[in-house]
Amino acid sequence: MSIKRLLQALLIGLIIFSVSGCTTPVEPAEFTEPAEFTEPAEFEVSSLTVTPSEVVAGESVTVMVDIENVGGLEGTYTATLTVDKKVVDTKDITLDAGATEQVSFTSSLESAGTHTIELGGLTATATALKPAEFEVSSPVVTPTLVLPGQEATVQANITNVGEAKGSLTTTLRVNGVEMDTRSVTLVGGATDKASFTVIRDLTGTYDISVDGRRTTLTVAEVETYKNEQYHYSISYPTDWTLDEETPESVWMGKVGIAGIVVSVDILTAAASLDDFYAISIEDYESGWSDFQLVSRQDVMENEEVVAIEVTAEATLGGTP
């Protein structure tokens, strides 16, 4: 036997010996499934809304977002609300895997202007308007000189210098005593008038104020002129000058202050009152500065117009 075959025979014998000499059977290895990997919690933020988008400074807005856990495990998300890059509130939201929750915040916008709101990487804007604020001008009295019992109109301009709509109640006082009120509602930047009527029977100078803005009204002492020919009378301040040129034309007034002219025109039966009225008004408008027709009233007799009473205001030669 060659040496090579002898070595092969020994190797086989060793293998057989090893196997036959093994007294404990070897169990086959069990197969184990590989461990499954689970994604951690992960959050997505969407649908940022701010309501209302416009408020008055000092009022609050509501900020809402949807938060979804798109991961595989439960987790907690910290929602941080910032206004103009300043943190104003936080909330911790715990969500199961796949769950979604709507989260809301309330925040006050204290200063006027446009504010940037950020939550979870999303941004929106909201506007805070400057609150309504009113300015009242000095009142204007028309006319500034009246006779006892005659009406005077008091008007003051009211402007809302804020941005938000608002209301103001203005108060008229005469000699410090509250007499009347007016309510005015204005949007931001708008102007309106508060108008009052004042009537005083006693002569004197009265202090007129609207919300603290002041002026005066004078009620003059009067004398009465009677026109016997045309059967009318008229009262005028005692310090005015009376000029009765003819019964048809009477003037009373004070140079540089005011005056009253009473003219009576008598037409023939064939003349047209309307034609004469139109011509007269045209003449007055061309000859008097700032001519303004105040009233016209037809005088009726037996269902016919027999006269026209006209009241007008004008400036003659720069003198009212």
Report DSSP state, residue 112. Answer: S
Q: How far apart are CA 312 and CA 248, in angstroms?
A: 17
Report the C-alpha dihedral over residues 138, 144, 147, 150, rounded to 10 degrees: -50
Asked if the structure places residue 12 within a domain, the reply is no
What are the Cα distances from residue 50, in Å, to 43, 53, 88, 117, 293? 21, 6, 15, 8, 58
Give pLDDT tens digits for 38-80: 789 999 999 999 999 999 999 999 999 999 999 999 999 999 9
**pLDDT value for 138:** 94
Residues ≥6 apart with Cβ < 8 Å to 268 = none
Do 124 and 202 sit in the same domain of this protein?
Answer: no
Asked if the structure places residue 35 within a domain, the reply is no
Domain boundary among 83, 110, 129: 129
Domain boundary among 219, 242, 259: 219
Q: Which of 136, 101, 134, 139 is nearest to 120 (CA)?
A: 101
Asked if the structure places residue 294 within a domain, the reply is yes
**pLDDT value for 34:** 60
| Residue 225 CA from chain centroid, whole number | 53
Domain extent for 123: 43-129
Give all strands of the β-sheet with 86-95 in edge-to-edge order. Answer: 54-56, 122-129, 113-119, 75-83, 86-95
Q: Which of 205, 252, 249, 194 is nearest to 224 (CA)?
A: 252
Q: Which of 93, 45, 41, 95 is nearest to 72 (CA)?
A: 41
Domain boundary among 219, 247, 273: 219
Report DSSP state, residue 319. Answer: B
Asked if the structure places residue 277 within a domain, the reply is yes
**pLDDT value for 13:** 46
**pLDDT value for 98:** 94
Do 246 and 198 sit in the same domain of this protein?
Answer: no
Q: Which of 206, 159, 200, 209 is nearest to 181 (CA)?
A: 209
Asked if the structure places residue 153 within a domain, the reply is yes
Do 211 and 138 sit in the same domain of this protein?
Answer: yes
CATH number for the domain including 70?
2.60.40.10
Q: How far apart are CA 22 and CA 14, in angstroms?
A: 12
SS (H, E, C) 37-51: CCCCCCEEEEEEEEE
Structurally, how many domains does the chain consist of?
A: 3
Asked if the structure places residue 209 within a domain, the reply is yes
**pLDDT value for 21:** 47
Do 212 and 256 sit in the same domain of this protein?
Answer: no
Do 212 and 230 sit in the same domain of this protein?
Answer: no
Do 215 and 170 sit in the same domain of this protein?
Answer: yes
Q: How far apart are CA 149 and CA 141, in angstroms?
A: 15
Pairing of strands 232-237, 241-246: unpaired
Asked if the structure places residue 38 within a domain, the reply is no
Do 124 and 167 sit in the same domain of this protein?
Answer: no
Do 142 and 80 sit in the same domain of this protein?
Answer: no
**pLDDT value for 269:** 73
For the chain, how big is the Rg over CA atoms in Å? 49
Do 215 and 194 sit in the same domain of this protein?
Answer: yes
Asked if the structure places residue 5 within a domain, the reply is no
Do 254 and 203 sit in the same domain of this protein?
Answer: no
Do 107 and 94 sit in the same domain of this protein?
Answer: yes
Q: How far apart are CA 108 and CA 127, in angstroms?
A: 11
Do 212 and 140 sit in the same domain of this protein?
Answer: yes
Give pLDDT tens digits for 147-197: 999 999 999 999 999 999 999 999 999 999 999 999 999 999 999 999 999
| Weakly modelled stretches of the chain, pLDDT under 50 | 1-3, 6-7, 9-22, 318-320
